[in-house]
């Protein structure tokens, strides 16, 4: 990606779109993203413990 600035810029824009939609969806549905991520990290750590 770094060797193609236009492609990298496009990727940034697409990721920003995804993030904006996610934040809006969480807001509309009442999901606390901070809490959801914290809970999921704990769950994943239990499911996939570090070697």
| pLDDT score recorded for residue 8 | 95
- pLDDT tens, residue by residue, 1-42: 778 999 999 999 999 999 999 999 999 999 999 999 999 999
Domain that holds residue 41: 5-47
Separation CA 13–CA 5 (nearest Å)? 12
Q: Are 32 and 38 in contact (CB under 8 A)?
A: no
* Region label for 30, one of left (φ > 0), alpha (ψ between -120 and 50) or beta (otherwise): left
pLDDT band at residue 47 using 50, 70 and 90 as cut-offs: very high
Residue 45: what pLDDT?
97
What does the pLDDT read at residue 30? 99
What total number of domains does the chain contain?
1
């Amino acid at each position: 990606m770094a060797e193609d600035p236009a492609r990298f810029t496009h990727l940034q824009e697409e990721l920003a779109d995804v993030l904006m939609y996610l934040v809006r969806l969480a807001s509309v549905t009442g999901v606390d993203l901070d809490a959801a991520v914290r809970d999921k990290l704990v769950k994943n750590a239990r499911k996939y413990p570090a070697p």
